[in-house]
Structure 1
Amino acid sequence: MNVSTFRALVVSKTDEKTFTREITERSISDLPEGEVLIRVHFSSLN
């Protein structure tokens, strides 16, 4: 993983009551224009 890519948790709605989730590698260029980018060194998910 280099500076211009990051891992993202992507949650998608597949139908009315079903969601899928996956961790994908994304590029900074995939982000919408005008969004704020925050560099995180450590985090946790509870």
Structure 2
Amino acid sequence: MKHLSFVICAICVVLAGCNTVKGIGQDLQKAGEKIEEVAKKK
């Protein structure tokens, strides 16, 4: 039973990490787009 609990916890951590990395990537992409817009205006 302990092994099953460990596996479930490990899966949850991995899935949470993927969502976090995806979110950071999206934020960086949006920031890059804003920088491009400002650079094009100058």
TM-score by length of 1: 0.20
TM-score by length of 2: 0.20
**Greater share of residues in strand:** 1
**Greater share of residues in helix:** 2
Larger radius of gyration: 2
